[in-house]
Amino acid sequence: MSARKTVEHIKNREISATDHLKTCLKNLEQTKHLNAFIRVFEEKALDQAANLDRRIQKGEATGPLAGLVVAVKDNINIAGELTSCGSKILNPFKSPYNATVIDKLESADAIIVGKTNLDEFAMGSSNESSAFGPVKNPHNENRVPGGSSGGSAVAVATGSADVALGSDTGGSIRQPAALTATVGIKPSYGRVSRYGLVAYASSLDQIGTFGKKTDDAAFLLQQIAGYDNLDSTSADIAVPDYNVSLENVKGLKIGVPKEYFAKGLDNEIKSGVLSIVEKLKTDGAEITELEMSSTEYAIAMYYIIATAEASSNLARFDGVRYGLRKGDEDGLIEMYGQTRSEGFGDEVRRRIILGTYVLSAGYYDAYYKKAQQVRRILKNDFDKAFSACDVIVSPTTPATAFKIGEMVDDPLAMYLSDIYTVSANLAGICGISLPAGIHSDGLPFGIQFQAKAFNESILFKLGNYIENNL
């Protein structure tokens, strides 16, 4: 049942919030070994559901997400609960405040079922860098679910939650959505408040949503989007109604950039994605070939910009204000070093070192400034593309889910799995991944549509259309 319908049924008393939550908790329990959750709020969630049921019985007004079961990535703060970011360094950190998105979920009467596993500080594409162990892909338990929001993707894929919140810095929502046959949207930069999201790379990070279907992701985004004066990078732009559909796709202009279908892409994924494009064409969409030469440089830019920002953002984890503290007896500088070395895992340390290097005296212009200049060229490429088309289509990932452990010692190979997703973050636009089929290896793959900033509606319209008509 869709998220929208679920809430309707709960409000009409066709099902109780408690029974619905219990179904999710049962699914969660049965798939516990996939390690999607770091913490489950069973008791608290059951109390909330019972309370909601009482209010509904009394005929009281309830919020727009009444009884909807939501999983939350464990880099988003919930007041009074631990936030781990998948790291040892925050053990323990109990958030003294709510992220804005959590305030919104609570006032909408959503039920938060638990905090989901993630790559440490959202750095990774496989969920293997978590200090709480890897998450397994429900389609094949020897495979990764993608990352960094792998736990949120698996929570939705297994029915442990109706919908989930994730964060996407270079593909961390869309890539796991593709690898688990769920829908994931990375909204435009500034669409959702990041107040209370632990920062990784501030010019790229964005909170987004997962659902089983497009409308589920849209329904949740509707409630969390909008301006927030606690986040100075949130955009003061009205949020349109995301309950949208398309009668047909006649005249819709779909751009196909040849660089997104070049070498390195799995053949079956390529033909699977192109067959969807072909069907849309048959239904009346106009297909435009695009040239976006900066695509090839997106990963290089990303790993300079993201690591530079990370090295600065993660300086706050120093053992003074929260979390782990080691080496107190050896003086302040030594305490910093011991705390950070024991607290951070390999991938986080690697990125901090890379980021510190590219920002260091003598290298700033060659790396950081250069990457920012190429970033403008990439953004101009997108501006130009969107003057010729409404959406840009591509695969979400070049391959299906890889084996757990396969790439841990080859960070560059892992980075390249984000080749089709990082550009949206660099350009600040929005992108959605939809299930596109099952590969002969038995694993799902995704199709990505990107649209210009603050045009999420077109992605939802198209996603709904594909689900209903193709």
Partner 1 sequence: MSVTIQDLEKIANLARLKLNEEEKSKFLGQLNQILEYVEKLNEINTDGIEPLSHSLDLVNVLRKDIEQASLDRNKALENAPKKNDAFFRVPKVVTK
Q: What gap in Å lies between CA 234 and CA 189, rounded to an integer? A: 8
Kindly tell me which residue out of 8, 30, 142, 320 binds partner 1, with binding defined by CB under 8 A.
320
Segment 409-438, which members bind partner 1 (CB under 8 A)?
411-412, 415, 426-429
Active site residue 73: yes
Residue 121 binds to partner 1 (criterion: CB under 8 A): no
* Position 270, amino acid: K
3-state secondary structure of 164: strand
Q: Which of 11, 73, 136, 461 is catalytic?
A: 73
Residue 383 binds to partner 1 (criterion: CB under 8 A): no
- Rounded least distance, CB 94 to partner 1, Å: 6
Active site residue 271: no
Segment 24-83, which members bind partner 1 (CB under 8 A)?
none
Residue 96 binds to partner 1 (criterion: CB under 8 A): yes
Kindly tell me which residue out of 125, 294, 394, 400 binds partner 1, with binding defined by CB under 8 A.
294
Cα torsion 33, 34, 36, 38: sign: positive
Cα angle 415-394-408, degrees, rounded to a multiple of 5: 20
Residue 330 binds to partner 1 (criterion: CB under 8 A): yes
Q: Which is nearer to partner 1, 155 or 304 (CB)?
A: 304
Residue 405 binds to partner 1 (criterion: CB under 8 A): no
Q: Which is nearer to partner 1, 215 or 381 (CB)?
A: 381
Q: Which of 16, 148, 167, 417 is catalytic?
A: 148
Q: What gap in Å lies between CA 241 and CA 340, rounded to an integer? A: 45
Q: Which residue has the tokens 């319908």?
A: 5
Q: What gap in Å lies between CA 450 and CA 207, rounded to an integer? A: 16
Q: Which residue from 153, 110, 117 is spatially nearest to 20, judged by alpha carbons?
A: 110
Residue 93 binds to partner 1 (criterion: CB under 8 A): yes
Q: Which of 172, 193, 311, 433 is catalytic?
A: 172
Alpha helices per DSSP H over 31-140: 42-57, 100-107
Active site residue 5: no
Segment 163-192, which members bind partner 1 (CB under 8 A)?
189-190
Q: Give the total residue count for the chain.
A: 470
Q: Which is nearer to partner 1, 288 or 312 (CB)?
A: 312
Residue 99 binds to partner 1 (criterion: CB under 8 A): no
Packed helices 17-30 and 42-57: angle between N→C axes, nearest 10 degrees: 160
Which uninterrupted H or E stretch holds 69? strand 69-73
- How many residues make contact with partner 1 (CB under 8 A)? 75
Active site residues: 73, 148, 172
